[in-house]
């Protein structure tokens, strides 16, 4: 008999292949075969997460992850550890390490958890700890704060490059003739003024 993990693995393959309708059919089959089991909703949300991930929709990914974490909080004992590992990966992918560590500890405390599952957990956590943390993208408030810091404390090449990169990326991606474009244009002018005041000749992208 198929278990929750089997449905999840099959749906993952189908989503990656772009076979969304088939993935949804798998979820429907699971609902019929495992009615009332907490893994039914859990796997359904995993499929939603995988679909959003494939489409690059971080908003929907965050929403699905939030629901997955709530299911773990209330029905974690009924969710296979192998499925919980998918949530652990999602936490780190969406820059939620604290929540990821909570999930990892929960998996480690499951009685009789398979060694292969624990090995996956250890590998994911170790990879996150060893990976250098990339600076988070700056929005308009973050750019303003960075420029304020440069103005007050002096020129810092790394901070300046991070701010400049954020401004240029923003101007590239923002819709024309919007308030955000106007704000970014003003911030670019302020950046250039600061650069001139500090005698900086060239920019280096972050």
Chain segment 102-125, per-residue pLDDT in tens: 999 999 998 888 999 999 999 999
Query: Residue 191 is inside which H or E element, if any?
Result: helix 179-197
Task: Round to whole Å and give the CA distance between 19 and 22.
Answer: 5
Global pTM value: 0.53
Query: Residue 90 is inside which H or E element, if any?
Result: helix 81-93
Together in a domain, 95 and 24: yes
Has residue 33 been placed in a domain? yes
Q: How confident is the model at residue 23 (pLDDT cuts 50, 70, 90)?
A: low
In this predicted model, what pLDDT tens digit does every residue of 152-206 receive, in sequence order? 999 998 899 899 999 999 999 888 889 999 999 999 999 999 999 988 865 544 4
- What total of structural domains would you count in the chain? 2
Query: Residue 188 is inside which H or E element, if any?
Result: helix 179-197
- Point out the least confidently predicted range of 65-79, 123-137, 141-155: 123-137
Q: What pLDDT does residue 137 have?
A: 72
Task: Round to whole Å and give the CA distance between 92 and 82.
Answer: 16
Residue 132 DSSP one-character state: P
Q: How confident is the model at residue 143 (pLDDT cuts 50, 70, 90)?
A: very high
Can you read off the two tokens belonging to residue 104?
């990892």
Q: What pLDDT does residue 164 have?
A: 92
Residue 7: Cβ-neighbour burial (10 angstroms; 0-12, 13-18, 19+) = buried
Together in a domain, 96 and 25: yes
Together in a domain, 118 and 52: yes
């Amino acid at each position: 008999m198929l278990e929750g993990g089997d449905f999840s693995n099959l749906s993952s393959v189908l989503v990656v292949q772009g076979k969304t309708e088939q993935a949804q059919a798998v979820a429907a089959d699971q609902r019929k075969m495992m009615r009332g089991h907490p893994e039914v909703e859990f796997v359904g949300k995993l499929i939603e997460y995988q679909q959003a991930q494939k489409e690059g929709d971080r908003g929907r990914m965050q929403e699905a992850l939030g629901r997955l974490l709530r299911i773990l909080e209330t029905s974690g004992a009924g969710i296979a550890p192998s499925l919980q590992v998918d949530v652990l990966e999602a936490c780190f992918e969406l820059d939620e390490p604290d929540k990821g560590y909570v999930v990892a500890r929960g998996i480690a405390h499951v009685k009789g958890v398979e060694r292969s599952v624990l090995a996956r957990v250890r590998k994911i956590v170790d990879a996150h700890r060893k990976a250098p943390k990339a600076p988070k993208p700056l929005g308009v408030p973050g750019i303003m704060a960075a420029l304020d810091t440069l103005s007050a404390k002096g020129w810092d090449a790394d901070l300046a490059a991070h701010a400049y990169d954020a401004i240029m990326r923003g101007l590239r991606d923002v819709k024309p003739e919007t308030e955000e474009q106007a704000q970014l244009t003003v911030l670019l002018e302020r950046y250039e003024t600061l650069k001139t005041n500090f005698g900086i000749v060239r920019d280096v992208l972050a």
